[in-house]
Amino acid sequence: MWHKTLTSIGAGSQRNKNKAMAYSHLERANDLEPSDGHRVLREECPLHREENFDPPFYVVSRHDDVIEILKSPKLWGNADGPGVFYQKGGVLGSADDPDHARQRKVLREIFLPSKMRSLENRLKKIRDDLWKVFEKPGNGDFVDLFAFPFPAFAIAEILGVDPKDREKFHKWADDIVAGLGGGDLELVDKANLELWSYIDELVEERLMLMEKGEQLPDDAISTMTIAFSNGQLSRREIQQLGHQLLVAGHETTASLLALMIYRLSAEPELLNELKSNRNLIELAVEEFLRFDSPVQGLFRTNSETCPVLDTTIPARTKLQAMFASANRDPAIWEDPDSIRFDRDPKLARQHLAFGWGVHYCIGAPLARLEACLALEKIVESLTTIEVLEEPPTTPPFILRGFTKLNIRWT
């Protein structure tokens, strides 16, 4: 159902208003091609009120309107959580300044370009080990074989997890991410507790090294442990930040990798183009991010009553800023519904797949590196990719991805 003030914020004609009122954001969000629904939002009602949810929420879908929300973090904050439900006590993407700025300052050095360069060879080793199954023609679930474990193992590497414990991390990530779509909540709780306990053990190990005056490993847990010893982070925040790095940094990258394979299967000429010019790989990753944003849109909550377009929105209302829709807005992008590797490089990174402003994804350098490493291997070793069945989509309407992607490759 649309908000009663649709006449001032939607399309002008009665025919278009009736068409718009039939739209359900929740029903359309998990379409195999959600961009079709986003086009309806942009054209028919750029400010949509979704009544079929408790609590009801708003959606903004045009690029410039999304930016207007994101450029006002004091008014439209994250402290109530970036999801549709109201949640308190979060960190980083679920926090506002000054806590957000304090936490981000600690983590920023983990994702510096110099850190990514030092990490690259280790990630290549992880990638190559997982890729062995694709060295001969075959078929299987790309999500299970590569897209899911690669980013999970990469996050484990950054945090400082012992390689022998990577499978534990994989399992925890699997159970926690399944819970986003209403999976087994007991498994989610168990995975959370085990993950937090494991992170605590890593912190304790590093505190003992500090007491002995010994050198700490060069990893994220060490960085956060030093911050704890300096009073910059609490132990609870370290647990939460480790959890957020695993879940946010894992699920979105796994989705991106699967979506890239899906598009290369649907448009084999894209794979041929990359084989002909491998210098296009970085630009291709940006275009895949724009075209199929793994994070469809995150929520903000307003601290006071305010206008959005022509509607007054009461304080403490949830609003979803639709990054994916903004990334297909024809007001910004020429030929937005086509994947093109010839876009202006200066424009290529201006998509909103990683958000915008103070809450721009801190792990974007890692996600880009993982995607480039994966795409390099795809281009180098695969000749044909065939999707064998329509893939099931990730359940939550905040994310876009596949829970399974059965393919045949040569």
Report the alpha-carbon distance of residue 42 to residue 330 in Å, rounded.
10
pLDDT at 6: 29
Whether the upstream peptide bond of residue 55 has omega within 30° of 0, thus cis, is yes
Whether 404 has a pLDDT exceeding 60, the answer reads yes
Report the alpha-carbon distance of residue 271 to residue 266 in Å, rounded.
10
pLDDT at 21: 45
Task: Output DSSP code: residue 138.
Answer: E
pLDDT at 1: 25
Mean pLDDT, range 233-259, rounded to an integer: 93
Q: Using DSSP, state whether 340 is helix, strand or coil.
A: coil
Token couple for 217: 């490993």
pLDDT at 10: 42
Whether 3 has a pLDDT exceeding 70, the answer reads no
Cβ–Cβ < 8 Å for 61, 326: yes
Class of domain 6-409: mainly alpha
| Residue with more model confidence, 8 or 253 | 253
DSSP 237-270: HHHHHHHHHHHHHHHHHHHHHHHHHHHHHH-HHH
Helix (H) or strand (E) holding 118: helix 113-131
pLDDT at 175: 82
Cβ–Cβ < 8 Å for 223, 248: no
Report the alpha-carbon distance of residue 46 to residue 65 in Å, rounded.
8
**CA 28 vs CA 16, 111, 191, 391: distances in Å:** 18, 35, 31, 16
Query: 113 pLDDT band (50/70/90 cuts)?
Result: confident
Measured from the Cβ of residue 27, the count of other Cβ atoms closer than 10 Å reads 11
114-148: b (≥16 Cβ within 10 Å) or e: ebbeebeeebeebbeebbeebeeeeebbbbebbbb
Report the alpha-carbon distance of residue 341 to residue 339 in Å, rounded.
7
Which residue is associated with the tokens 């414990």?
A: 165
Give the pTM: 0.91
Whether 18 has a pLDDT exceeding 60, the answer reads no
H/E/C letters for each residue in 343-399?
A: CCHHHHCCCCCCCCHHHCCCCHHHHHHHHHHHHHHHHHHCCCEEECCCCCECCCCCE
Cβ–Cβ < 8 Å for 305, 36: no
Cβ–Cβ < 8 Å for 277, 241: no
Report the alpha-carbon distance of residue 96 to residue 103 in Å, rounded.
10
Cβ–Cβ < 8 Å for 41, 21: no
pLDDT per position as a tens digit, 366-384:
999 999 999 999 999 999 9
pLDDT at 396: 62
